[in-house]
Each structure stands twice: as structure tokens, then as C-alpha cells.
Amino acid sequence: MLNFSKISSDSIIGKFLRFPLKLLPQNMIVPIIQGKLRGKKWIVGSSNHGCWLGSYEYEKQVLFSKIVKEGSVVYDIGAHVGFYTLLSSVLVGQKGKVISFEPLPANIQYLKKHLEINKCNNVEVIEAAVSNVSGTFPFEEGSSSSQGKLFFQGQFHVRCIIIDEMVSTGRIPPPNYMKIDIEGGEFKALLGAKQMLLQHYPTIFLATHGEEVHKNCCEFLKEIGYNLKSINGKNIYETDEILAFRKC
């Protein structure tokens, strides 16, 4: 599989290769050209071109594809427009289930459209942010659609849910795998899932945002019995991409 995204956009070849991409209509539906999602349909303007080129978050995507098993339950926390939701849907198959959490209405629209055009019937979308509190809270949009976060001065309000409450009441099944990428809200999401984590120990693909959040997440996961491994080969405290799995 070719990692097109690794070619710098500042290099001459990078600029040359990217120029034609600017000419594609934003609402154009194209096939994903490589990886486990090869042949699936993608809306060009929903996210960066690496998604339909198949090289989005290359190292994590490859590892994710190797680890997630058929028949599993996957939580996609911070689903954005659905790249990992689609990938999870393919990997777990019809016997598995994917639960996608996303609070931003514009992203939800793209997410649901991607599920529709790819005929994914093993996915449930929960239109909410994940944290350690439940209710309705301010949410701030970032400079791109992937960078929104809970913030006390946010422009609008979104629903927040707690994983422990959702699982303990039987609203959703416990996961075998979790992908968490929520722009600095990762530690609070883990705190709100503590009892489920202690009972089920799903494997976690975690992207952290900020040194304090990263440190808190690492310490918390170690305390409750997880091993941590860097996804990109860096030192565990120098990376922001972690694979967390139960200690043997």
C-alpha cells in the first residue's frame, strides 16, 4: 500500500501531485483506491484527499486493519466523517457492530451519507460527544471540521454521554476495540468509561491532544492495567498516537 500522504505538500513533487486534486468538485463521489476500503465510495470534500487515496493516517490505519477482528464490537469515538467507521464496518463484517460517536452536525451529515452510499448496515451513529459528564454542553468548532471540541465558550451546544452509563444500562454493548480521537477530550472520555474498561479491557487506539492530556491518559491507563505502545515508533511520552492493550 502506498503512503501518498507522506509526500510533503511543500516539496515540488508534492505540489505537482496535489494540484489536480484541487480541481475535483467537493461533492464528487469517488472510489477509495487502496487498502481494506478499496472500492468503497467517498465524498471528496468531506475530508482530506488522503481518505480516498487510502493513505489517511497510514501507520494507524494499517495497524488497525491488522488488529480488529471479524465479529467484534468497535467504538469510533470522534468519528468525524466516518473513515474509521467505514474501515471498522468492513473489518468486523455482518456479525460485528460499529458504534460511532460524533457531535458536530456537519460531520454527522457526511458520516451518514458515507454509510448510506456504502450500504453499511452494521453501524449505529450516536449524535453526541463522549465525556465524563452527561447533558448538554457548549461546543467549539475548530479551524477544520476535524478539530471541534467541548469548550465553555463554544458557539453552540451538543449532547454529551458517558460510556459507563450507556453500557451499564444496556443501551450499547461493550466494545472489543475503541478508537478515540476527540481533540483534547480523551482523558475525560476514559474517566467516563472506567468501569467498562476495568470489566472488559478493550484494545484502544488513542490519539491525544496536549502534553497534560497525554500524561493523564497514559498514567490512568497504566493504573487500571493497560500496556501502552507507540503507534508511530516514538517514545511513549513523545508520541500522540498510542495503542493500549491489557497486560498479560
What is the number of structural domains in the chain?
A: 1
Is residue 54 within 8 A of residue 31, CB to CB? The reply is: no
CA pair distance 177, 207, nearest whole angstrom: 14
List the one residue out of 230, 234, 231, 237 whose CA is nearest residue 216: 237
Residue 73, helix vs strand vs coil = strand
Q: Is residue 130 part of a domain?
A: yes
Q: What angle do CA 159, 104, 152 make, to 5 degrees?
A: 60
Q: Is residue 34 part of a domain?
A: no
pTM: 0.88
CA pair distance 125, 108, nearest whole angstrom: 8
CA pair distance 167, 200, nearest whole angstrom: 11
Residue 11, helix vs strand vs coil = coil
Q: Is residue 214 part of a domain?
A: yes
Q: Is residue 38 part of a domain?
A: no
- What range defines the domain where residue 184 resides? 59-246
| Domain harbouring 93, CATH code | 3.40.50.150
Length of the chain: 248
Q: What is the pLDDT along the chain (248 residues), one digit of tens a residue?
A: 666 556 555 555 544 455 466 667 788 999 999 999 999 999 999 998 889 999 999 999 999 999 999 999 999 999 999 999 999 999 999 999 999 999 999 999 999 999 999 999 999 999 999 999 998 877 666 544 444 455 555 567 788 999 999 999 999 999 999 999 998 899 999 999 999 999 999 999 999 999 999 999 999 999 999 999 999 888 898 899 999 999 77
